Structure 1
Amino acid sequence: MAQIGYTMMTEQAGPRELVDHVVAAERAGFDFSVTSDHYFPWLRSQGHAPYAWSVLGAAAQATERIPLMTYVTCPTVRYHPAVIAQKAATTQLLSGGRFRLGLGSGENLNEHVVGAGWPAPRTRLEMLAEAVEIIRALFGGGDVTHHGEHFDVENARLWDLPEQAPPIGVAVSGPVSCGVAGELADLVIATEPRADLLAEFDRHGGTGKPRVGQLQVCYDPDRAAAVDRAYEMARWSLGAWPVNSELRGPAGFDAAAAPITHEQVAEAIPCGDDVRLFTDAVQAYVDAGFTEIALVQVGGDHQLPFLEWANRTLLPELRKL
């Protein structure tokens, strides 16, 4: 049976609200949680972007059972991998071993803010692979010095190490990233129900490792209101990743998503309160081979009604898949 997770979407709620939401998700019976890590929201209408790692620290103290995970952190431009290793080790200690470190090659949207430029896709994946090696070395203990193609580390050491290092996940969207994930990661991460990505991951050493997907949904008893909200706040997600990863801010996402219609959003994102729409969408991930699926409820002010409905109606049906 696939595990069902909840997403703390930092682009659509403030830090206190995000912690309240994951506490409610734990009470509702979700199996795990994930957290986005952004400096900008995709669209101005989303309206938020608190620091994910502070939220994770607070969530680790406010919850008791539910696993936590970044979905995903870019360890290459805005953050140095040595700093990511320290943050991840600390979060693992605070959570009592409930944390997983999800990594990805990033988006210009968040990484451009430090003024270091935005590398080409192939370079970004090379940087990601080198970053994973550095993080693993620091998780291993002892002093680490590294002079690589993209990063330098001088006499670094993590002085507070958890007994069990956080498992590392890598987000994939094509063959090259699947190769990095299969060779270097403990689990794979994707945002589309694509069996071909998992097959490529397996081909590079991923067989038997967890595979985590993510699905946007928009619960509301009023289906028309749900479609309107999904259009207002989530239409960006229908864009192609090669384009989305290059955009620098909400204005760019708004322009790129201009041709997208309400009808296209309603077809791509389960909207309303017909539980079959939600279970069918999750089933697509299960059929593709995903072992865990994290749900994203669209709308920061609509989390608690969704969580109540999920506890009462949605999760019992998903357990049957």
Structure 2
Amino acid sequence: MTEIGYTVSSEEHGPNELVEHAVRAEEVGFEFASISDHFHPWVGQQGNAPFVWSTLGGIAQATDDLPVGVGVNCPIMRIHPVNVAHAAATAATMFEGDFFLGVGTGERLNEHVTGEHWPEHSVRLEMLEEAIEIIRKLWQGGQQSYYGDHFTVENARLFTLPEEPPDIVVSAFGDTAARAAAELGDGFWSVGPQDVIETWEDAGGEGPRYSQMTVCYAEDEEDAIDTAHEWWPNSALTGELNSQLPTPTHFEQACEMVTREDIAEGNIITDPNPETHIENLEGFADAGYDHVYVHQIGPDQESFFQFYEEEVLPEVA
């Protein structure tokens, strides 16, 4: 049975709003939430990028038992893996087991800010493997050291640990990364229905399978298309631009090529008919995903919550 979650979109909302959104998501019946970890928004219009670990503390205190995961953190550049291990252990303790850590090789947009060289994907994948090993070692407790090709850890010990370590769910968008995710992770993470889930399964991948469905709900579809084009034009960018462009300004320049028609014909669901949403959720399930988190684009989250509470969630429960 597929669980339906909600995307706590850090790029579009401030931290207090994000906490309120997580509370509303639990109230209307979403079964989990995913929160993005960004240093920058994709484009300036989105306007936000609060520190995810601070926001998680607020969500943990404001919700009752809503499982929440970071989707996804890049533990290889901007934040050293010892700090990710520390932050995630604290979050898992606060959520009392209802926390999971999504990790991936990141985007230049967020990770280059410390001035370190942005390596090619194969190197970032090596770094991710070491980072996951470090995180798991620290979660075992006791004093730990690690000497790898990319990271060094000396005499580190986490004193605040959850009763059980959280799942580490690895993001993948290509066959090489999918095979690595099968080897390294406790589950699979993607944005949109990725065919590489089959590669992950063939490589022995086991555990929960997460994917995001992006929507822009409004009573009028034309209004929804306008909102999506204004707030999330980056969805129409193809190829490796999302991982390679360094600043929101560069994304804005690239998005000048994105037309309203691109949004209307793209992968954002703008149809206000609940059957369209239900059918697409079922499509994710048919593709092999057992957790689908829904991202509502734009400022109007409350209309979306009411729509899903009344029209969509009861039909997919």
TM-score, normalised relative to structure 2: 0.97
Residue 272 of structure 1 and its aligned partner are, at CA, apart by 4.1
- Separation in 2, partners of 1:38, 1:130: 22
**Is 1:295 paired with 2:294?**
yes
Correspondence for 2:280? 281
**2:72 aligned counterpart, secondary structure:** coil
Which ranges of structure 2 fall in alignment gaps of 5 or more residues? none
Correspondence for 2:95? 95
| Greater than 4 Å deviation, 4+ residue runs | none
Is the contact between residue 3 and residue 292 of structure 1 (CA under 8 Å) also seen in structure 2? yes
Correspondence for 2:268? 269
Residue 263 of structure 1 and its aligned partner are, at CA, apart by 2.0
Residue 173 of structure 1 and its aligned partner are, at CA, apart by 0.4
Please report the RMSD computed on the Cα atoms of aligned residues, expressed in angstroms: 1.2
Residue 308 of structure 1 and its aligned partner are, at CA, apart by 1.5
- The amino acid across from 2:280 in the alignment is A
Residue 140 of structure 1 and its aligned partner are, at CA, apart by 1.1
Cα shift readout 1:210-266 (whole Å, capped 9, x = no counterpart): 100011100111211110010111120222252210011112112222222212212
Correspondence for 1:174? 174
Cα shift readout 1:174-211 (whole Å, capped 9, x = no counterpart): 1121122101110100112133x11111122214x110
Correspondence for 1:50? 50
Correspondence for 1:20? 20
Correspondence for 1:205? 204
Residue 280 of structure 1 and its aligned partner are, at CA, apart by 2.6
Is the contact between residue 216 and residue 270 of structure 1 (CA under 8 Å) also seen in structure 2? yes
**2:166 aligned counterpart, secondary structure:** coil
* CA shift in 2, pair 1:16/1:241, >3 Å: farther
Is the contact between residue 212 and residue 292 of structure 1 (CA under 8 Å) also seen in structure 2? yes
- Separation in 1, partners of 2:33, 2:26: 8
- Separation in 1, partners of 2:58, 2:192: 30
- The 10-residue stretch of structure 1 (92-101 or 250-259) with the greater mean CA deviation from structure 2: 250-259
- Separation in 2, partners of 1:212, 1:244: 20
- The 10-residue stretch of structure 1 (223-232 or 234-243) with the greater mean CA deviation from structure 2: 234-243
- Separation in 2, partners of 1:83, 1:108: 19
- Separation in 1, partners of 2:181, 2:271: 35
How many percent identity over aligned positions?
41
- Separation in 2, partners of 1:48, 1:241: 25
Correspondence for 2:229? 231
Correspondence for 2:242? 244
- Separation in 1, partners of 2:293, 2:162: 25
The total of aligned residue pairs comes to 316
Which ranges of structure 1 fall in alignment gaps of 5 or more residues? none
- The amino acid across from 1:249 in the alignment is T
- Separation in 1, partners of 2:115, 2:278: 43
Residue 6 of structure 1 and its aligned partner are, at CA, apart by 0.3
- Separation in 2, partners of 1:257, 1:277: 27
Cα shift readout 1:58-102 (whole Å, capped 9, x = no counterpart): 100100111010000000000000110010000011111110000
- Separation in 1, partners of 2:160, 2:111: 28
**2:146 aligned counterpart, secondary structure:** strand
